[in-house]
Structure formats: structure tokens, C-alpha cells
Structure 1
């Protein structure tokens, strides 16, 4: 029952933040029947939301949504499912639903490493990841990133090259894509890895959704590695999320002369682990196994 109400709410436009707020107002929302849940939503919406969606919620059917999902070849998992990643559920604003294409079992990966960096990533990022990733096979680490140009796509590509599982996190619905340069890569990951989004399939591309996406990259990961990042960048937002979520932060060594690694140097000064060998990361992951 809770799966159904969550799916319907997200489908018609209630956000993750809306549902968290609803739970703050009605902490027992998930412990009552559907009729009472609708009464709670109606009361909550009338008090707190300008845009009213309750009529849509009453009218839309679960079967209609399931048909649309089937046509889109998109599945979903809710926070009530045993397949929902327990690590992600520890963050304070976790999504109640993840829409996905690919191998859902990757969400159960114990050892996950987020990789972020500049969209203008240089040969340095490629060489570094190509050097590090073969050492991760025996664990194996699952590589999590955001399928953007630059460091994200490099991380996914080298994960595939070295036969590491990889999860791509979208900042929009599955029936859209951005940027076009990573479309073919996404197709491959949907076949061999996992592509997830907290947004229903038709959700368009909006700038504010990418920082929301970044918290999922770190939320799914035991640690996050910066390859190259400016001081002000989307990667820094992901690292801020990682720190808030009590995740380990790793950085490749940076040059004082390279603007793309100024962010690396800053994070190293703040206490991030500088990675010069794979063992710098593997030591922490072995500790998690004890």
C-alpha cells in the first residue's frame, strides 16, 4: 500500500522534500490505511502548499502508472523494499522511490566508490583512473557517478573497461538525457550496469535537479574520490554532501598551477585523503569488512 501511495505522489509532482515534510507533520503516515493517508495529504496540502495536486492524486490510478512505466521500460524500488540500498537510507533527505533501468542488484553493493570531477577533465583524470581501477577488481568496488561529460563519463568508461560494476545517477527522468555526448555510454550501462533516478521518467532537465542528484552519488557511496575540481564546482557540492553524510573523501594530488585541481588542494587542506596509490582507498574498504 505504501509503495502505491509513494508512486502516485511522485508521479503527479510531489517532491521528495514534500514527502519528508508530510512525514514531519504526520509521523504515522505510513502506519495508517489509504483512506486516512488521503485525508492527511489533503489537510497537509491545504496548509502548506500553494500548488494544489490533491485532485490529481485522487484521479490517477496505479494501473495507469504501471502501464506507463512498462512502456518506458523503467522499473522502480521504494524505501520499503529489501532491494533499497540501506546506505542511502541513512541520509536525512533520502528519496522514497528510485526509478531504474538495469541490474537492480547493484544497489546492494557493499563497497561503493563515488567518482566526481570536472566536466573539463584532462588526460590526468584518465591516466589516474586507468591506473587505480584494476586494483579494485578483487573487492570489487562498484563505481558510482553522474554520467556527465568529463570525469563522470571517464569513471564509467574505465569501470566498464576494467570490469567493475557501475551505477549512473541521473538528474532527470529516464525518458530524457543530458548531455548528448554520454547517450551511447548510458545505453551500455543500462545493459551492463544500473542507471537510476529519483525523478519519474518524464521529468525534464532542470538545473536545480543536478545538486539534488549529487547528494545521491555521495549517499550511495562509502567514499567519494575527486579527480580534478575547481574550487567552485558541482563536484564541491557533492563533496559537501559526502561530508554531511559522514562519507570518506579522497582526492588525487593536485598542482598549484592547475585551476582544475585547486579544489583538490583545498579539500586536502581540509583533511581529505590524498590518493597516490589504490591502497590509499583500499585500506579503508578492507576496514569496512572487519
Structure 2
């Protein structure tokens, strides 16, 4: 089947697996499959070209190799920017949207000293934004994973760094460009960060945090898990300190990460 048309018809990654595995086709999935027959591939490609948006499927040679290993991998990725960056070794960087100055200071110490590692994050406010900006400032490669289509942006604070990344780096999404914001898509986005990366670093996180879910996703996929140790009186370090006690690697220098990538 045509993966581009399936995507525009709304077929999800899990629904694609159902088709591939010849599983039970629900009425909803059947309707999406039928909808592909009404779509014009030429018009879709023309609109993508006009908006400077490319796409690759999981069969493409530059599709992130580790991402293909996860159970519900995105069968298609839309992108703006330098596609070759997706072949780099990646470190996922996530953390609280309420990240303190500690996150920025720690990342300014650690990230620039990493060698031949691209930073992948979610272009969210807080730790994500700090990771992308520091990577760009220090001529590192960075990848922004969107939780919506390329015609949407959130939050406003990262709009400028996203524009710069789409010139010199890359942003990717598993959703067609007109896909709006839906809450569940942010969790789905995190599996891409965890799956594409060789390891995930959490800077700051409260005990119940979406960043820790991303770390758990990474560990479930046999990726390396890293956390910044933090002040024991700070709620923003409660989650990371606990994960270190449970076995995540404490990171105090770039060498703590680089050794796993070399």
C-alpha cells in the first residue's frame, strides 16, 4: 500500500502494524483504507514541495536505524531541514518544562564536549529548548521531534529556534502537515525521541513527570538511561535522583555519556 496516502488518510503506526500483521481490521481502520483511494498523490506531493516539507518511509536508507527497532515505529516521517542528520548517533535530552537554571548550566557544560553525537529533543519549553539552543550555539547537530504537523507550532518560545533548525538542522514529525495539536500525540512523540536515540538524558524531573516516562521508554528499548544528580531539597530533582538510585547512570561530565557512544 502507498504509505504516503495511508498517512494522509490518518492510519496510525499501530494500525499500520495491524495491516502488516494481517490482524483484525476495525471499521475505523477499514474506512481509512478506503479513504486512501480518494486521495490524489500528485496533489499531496505538490503541496509538500510548496511548503518545503519532505518525507521518508521506514524503508529509506536515512531512516533512523534504532527507531525502526521499536514496536510501534512511525512508518513515515515528514521533515524540514538536513535529512542526513538522521543517520547520526543521537542523545535524547528531556526534562521539566519548569526547568531551573541548573538545567541550562549543566547542559552548557556537558553537551559541547560530546563528540559526533546529535541532540534530539521535543522543542518544548524548558529543558528541550535549552538543549536545542545550546546545540545550535556550539555547532552541534540537533533534531526537533514535533508532536503535530509542520504547519503548527507550540510553544511560541521555541518558534525562532525551530526556524533556525529547519534551515541548518532538522525537524521531523510522523503526522501530515495539517495535523493539529492533540494531547496524546505528545506521549507518542516521546517514543520517537526514546527510540531514535542511543541514550536519553533527563536533566530535571519531578517524581511524576513525562520526562521520566520517556526515560522508561528508552530503557524498555535497551537504550542507555542518564540523569543529572540534583539538589535533594529541589522537587525538580526528586525524579532524577530516584532514577539514579534505581540504576540510571548519574551524569556529571560529558565523558559519562561519551563512553557509551564510542
1:50: Cα distance to partner?
A: 6.9
1:98: Cα distance to partner?
A: 0.4
Cα distance in structure 2, aligned partners of 1:232 and 1:215: 17
- Pick aligned residue for 2:145 from 160, 166, 169: 169
Cα distance in structure 2, aligned partners of 1:183 and 1:68: 22
Distance 1:50 1:193, change over 3 A: closer
Cα distance in structure 2, aligned partners of 1:181 and 1:255: 27
Give unpaired runs (5+ residues) of structure 1.
27-43
Cα distance in structure 1, aligned partners of 2:58 and 2:30: 26
Contact 2:6–2:33 (CA under 8 A) maintained in structure 1: no
Contact 2:93–2:200 (CA under 8 A) maintained in structure 1: yes
Q: Secondary structure at the match of 1:99?
A: strand
The residue that corresponds to 2:18 in the other structure is 21
Equivalent positions of 1:57-136 (< 5 A) are 57-109=36-88, 111-136=89-114
The residue that corresponds to 2:218 in the other structure is 242
The residue that corresponds to 2:193 in the other structure is 217
1:48: Cα distance to partner?
A: 4.8
1:145: Cα distance to partner?
A: 0.4
- After superposition, what is the alpha-carbon deviation per residue over 1:89-122, rounded to whole angstroms, capped at 9, x for unaligned? 011111100000000000110x211000000111
- After superposition, what is the alpha-carbon deviation per residue over 1:129-182, rounded to whole angstroms, capped at 9, x for unaligned? 11112211xx22100000000000000000011111000000000000111111
The residue that corresponds to 1:32 in the other structure is none
Cα distance in structure 1, aligned partners of 2:210 and 2:158: 18
Contact 1:224–1:250 (CA under 8 A) maintained in structure 2: yes
Distance 1:18 1:127, change over 3 A: same
The residue that corresponds to 1:41 in the other structure is none
- After superposition, what is the alpha-carbon deviation per residue over 1:219-278, rounded to whole angstroms, capped at 9, x for unaligned? 111001010011111101111110111100011112221111111011101100001111
Cα distance in structure 2, aligned partners of 1:80 and 1:134: 32
Cα distance in structure 1, aligned partners of 2:44 and 2:51: 11
Cα distance in structure 2, aligned partners of 1:24 and 1:193: 35
Equivalent positions of 1:124-203 (< 5 A) are 124-136=102-114, 139-203=115-179
The residue that corresponds to 2:233 in the other structure is 257
Cα distance in structure 2, aligned partners of 1:285 and 1:257: 32
Q: CA RMSD in A?
A: 1.4
1:70: Cα distance to partner?
A: 1.3
Q: Secondary structure at the match of 1:228?
A: coil
- Pick aligned residue for 1:56 from 35, 54, 68: 35
Runs of 4 or more, structure 1, over 3 Å off, are none
Contact 2:11–2:29 (CA under 8 A) maintained in structure 1: no
Q: Which has the larger radius of gyration?
A: 1
Cα distance in structure 2, aligned partners of 1:83 and 1:283: 25
Aligned length: 262
- Pick aligned residue for 1:9 from 1, 6, 14: 6
Cα distance in structure 1, aligned partners of 2:34 and 2:65: 34
